[in-house]
Amino acid sequence: MAPIMVEALLGAVDRARERAGFLSVEAVAALADDGVLVLDPFSTLVSPGVALAGGVTLWPGTIIQATEGGEVTVGSGTRLFPGTRIVAAGGRVTIGAETEIGEEGGFTIKADHPGCLIEIGSHARLLGGGSLALANHIGDGAQVLGPIRMQDCRLQSGGSHRDPDPDRRGGVLKGSGVARGLTVPTGMVIQAFGLFGEAPLRPQSFFHPKPRA
Instruction: State the Cα–Cα distance between residues 104 and 192, nearest whole angstrom.
Output: 18
93: closest CA among 58, 130, 125, 134?
134
Q: What is the pLDDT of residue 210?
A: 75
Q: What are the start-end ranges of the E strands in 69-198?
A: 71-74, 79-80, 84-89, 92-95, 100-101, 107-111, 117-120, 125-127, 131-133, 136-138, 143-145, 148-151, 154-155, 172-180, 183-184, 188-195
pTM of the model: 0.93
Judge: domain 3-206, CATH 3.30.420.40: no
The overall average pLDDT reported for the chain is 95
> In terms of DSSP bridges, do strands 117-120 and 136-138 run parallel, antiparallel, or are they unpaired?
parallel
pLDDT tens for each residue of 79-118? 999 999 999 999 999 999 999 999 999 999 999 999 999 9
67: closest CA among 26, 27, 103, 113?
113
Instruction: State the Cα–Cα distance between residues 56 and 196, nearest whole angstrom.
Output: 32
Q: What is the pLDDT of residue 8?
A: 74
Average pLDDT over residues 157-177: 96
- Give percent above pLDDT 90 in the chain: 89
Tell me, rounded to whole angstroms, the distance of Cα 109 from its chain centroid.
6
Instruction: State the Cα–Cα distance between residues 111 and 114, nearest whole angstrom.
Output: 8
Q: What is the pLDDT of residue 11?
A: 82
Q: Which residues pair with 193 in a beta bridge?
A: 176
Average pLDDT over residues 5-16: 80
Average pLDDT over residues 136-164: 97
